[in-house]
Amino acid sequence: MAALDGILVVSLEQAVAAPLCTLRLAEAGARVIKVERTEGDFARRYDHVVHGESAYFVWLNRGKESLVLDIKQPDDAALLARIVGRADVFVQNLAPGGAARAGFGSDDLRARHPRLITVDISGYGEDGPAAAMKAYDFLVQCETGLAAITGGQSEAGRVGVSVADIACGMNAHAAVLEALIARGRTGTGSGIAVSLFDSIADWMSVPLLHYDYAGKAPARAGLHHATIAPYGAYACGDARQVVLSIQNEREWRAFCTDVLALPDMAEDARFADNSRRSANRAALDAAIAAEFATLDAAAVVARLAAAGIAFASLNEVADLSRHAHLRRVTAETASGPVALPAAPIRWADGARPAGTVPAIGEHSDAIRREFAG
């Protein structure tokens, strides 16, 4: 029996944040009814790379039922109201105020159904000057300052995956589980509101604390770390790059002695501690580059491993596809099977099933019969 067997989740969802939250609930055994417009979740049309289907959609919507409704129509609104009346969790990430205008505001729903857990996912929260603004992942990365500390020295950069959406969906999922535990003790549901902005602002705590208390935010550092050195990608004599990270003074001494074969460098005043190494990063990197240029990547890796220094390869997506640690699951779609990364949680009693990706309205008829007035 899965942990959330018997839990009914109804979600007016689109894009990434809410679907990620409900995906995790579905993986835990909840029944998730995904309410879509006639044209479907617009994430279905982000691309067509997976047998003609969207990569985002097949990733985020496994194990759900698709119900097409037009909630502006009285009959469809009444059907949704009946479903919500039997639900445990109601999730929505419509445009700000959209759910309330349609008669599905969270406060009203919980007043009618005290055991219901409601989740409102938004860009900037329920109030404030930006509450009504559209908030796509890239925009929130820029608005929170994340893009300003990402990228190389000469240009800001977007994180290459939808981190604002993903962070928000993860926070919503965790909050739902907390609310279910609380309801089990009190019998009463909870109102949850999660925003993309708040999710990334939380992740920006360290740069923000640097600015607020030291007067300066960390500079963009590309593949280096803004405040730790040495930390980054270094070219070897065969033009391959190795990524390494020094976290403490013991590792620094071992790196100088056993990797660079320059034991005196550990005592150099310019590099005596992490703060001074960061301040003298150009000289530090030049010394590392000079030694690594005499070795191929395999030799550098052998030295790093022997010295107990943390390292990695600077891989491409193609390398991830072949990576020995990449676990995959196969999900069925209307267009054919799709190999996806397995869920990140590993359970001692075995993997959870991947679930099937629904076609638009695939379950509409059955759900309408089940919840007929």
Rg (CA), the chain: 25
8 A C-beta contact, residue 176 and residue 30: no
Q: Where are the beta strands (DSSP E) in 261-355?
A: 310-313, 328-333, 336-341
Rounded Cα distance between 102 and 108, Å, is: 12
Q: Are strands 231-235 and 241-245 parallel, antiparallel or unpaired?
A: antiparallel
Please say if 51 is a catalytic residue: no
Instruction: Identify the CA nearest to 68 among candidates 34, 94, 93, 98.
Output: 34
Beta bridge partners of 120: 92, 193
Rounded Cα distance between 135 and 299, Å, is: 47
Place of tokens 């969207």: 54
C-alpha dihedral (181, 186, 191, 195), degrees to nearest 10: -30
Place of tokens 């050195």: 229
Place of tokens 């959406």: 165
8 A C-beta contact, residue 218 and residue 205: no
Rounded Cα distance between 107 and 126, Å, is: 12
**Cis, bond preceding 96 (omega within 30 deg of 0):** no
Q: What are the residues whose beta carbons fall under 8 Å from the beta carbon of 26, sequence distance 6 or more?
A: 9, 32, 62, 63, 64, 355
Active-site hit among 51, 224, 225, 363? 225
DSSP state of 198: H
Place of tokens 């009914």: 8
Active site residues: 225
